[in-house]
Amino acid sequence: MNKLILASVISFTIVGCANDTEEYIDTPLPDQQADLRDFDRDGVINARDKCPGTPSSARVSNDGCEERIEVSQEQNLKILFEHNSTDVHPVFRGQIEGMAEFLKQYPETSIEIKGFASNPGDRQYNLNLSRNRALLVQDKLIGFGVDPSRVVIIGHGEDDTDDDNPIDEALERRVEAKVVGFKGDFVKEWTIFTTLPK
């Protein structure tokens, strides 16, 4: 029993002395060839990651680059006019506002607005009328926040009328446009770093 107490006192004294006299030494960094850390937490170590900063939850290749997909969407505009008129009927306001919103979502796109007129009347007058219709729609788009530099106006007059396949005269008095927008997005995937919403 006395030997056990004596051994405990000696070991306590040795440990206590060591802690009081020794300075703390930081854990040495390992001497390794590659950086095994993963700063963007995509599962690919920094040493092999060719695309640092990939979005969270993106599916990545062996090089750490996210897989991208192209998303496209199309928006059409077709506005009809009364005979010899450039007034836009209020029923078409929603179409114009929807096109303006679409152009805001796809800022890299531009729009070509085509104006048309029906056959009756002077050819030059109809050309000017069709252009004025397109200009009026352009003004309304600009009013909804579209940059004027993104809008191109073309007045076709009655030139686009197909005599072999005639359409109703009321449908010839129109302004139309079509825009296709493209956006890139990345393929999402669950990883070991993904956290569930609380």
Owning domain of residue 175: 71-186
Asked whether residue 170 is assigned to any structural domain, the reply reads: yes
Check residue 47 and give its pLDDT. Answer: 80
- Specify the CATH number for the domain of residue 166: 3.30.1330.60
Asked whether residue 107 is assigned to any structural domain, the reply reads: yes
Answer whether 42's CB lies under 8 Å from 64's CB: yes
Q: Return d(Cα 8, Cα 47) in angstroms, integer.
A: 50
Asked whether residue 7 is assigned to any structural domain, the reply reads: no
Answer whether 153's CB lies under 8 Å from 128's CB: no
Answer whether 159's CB lies under 8 Å from 120's CB: no
Q: For residue range 120-142, list pLDDT tens digits in order.
A: 778 899 889 999 999 999 999 99
Asked whether residue 95 is assigned to any structural domain, the reply reads: yes
Q: For residue range 57-80, list pLDDT tens digits in order.
A: 777 787 888 777 666 778 888 999
Asked whether residue 60 is assigned to any structural domain, the reply reads: no
How distant, in Å, are the alpha carbons of 2, 12, 16, 84 from that of 5? Answer: 5, 11, 16, 114
Asked whether residue 46 is assigned to any structural domain, the reply reads: no
- Answer yes or no: pTM beyond 0.75: no
Asked whether residue 6 is assigned to any structural domain, the reply reads: no
Asked whether residue 24 is assigned to any structural domain, the reply reads: no
Check residue 198 and give its pLDDT. Answer: 54
**Domains contained in the chain, number:** 1
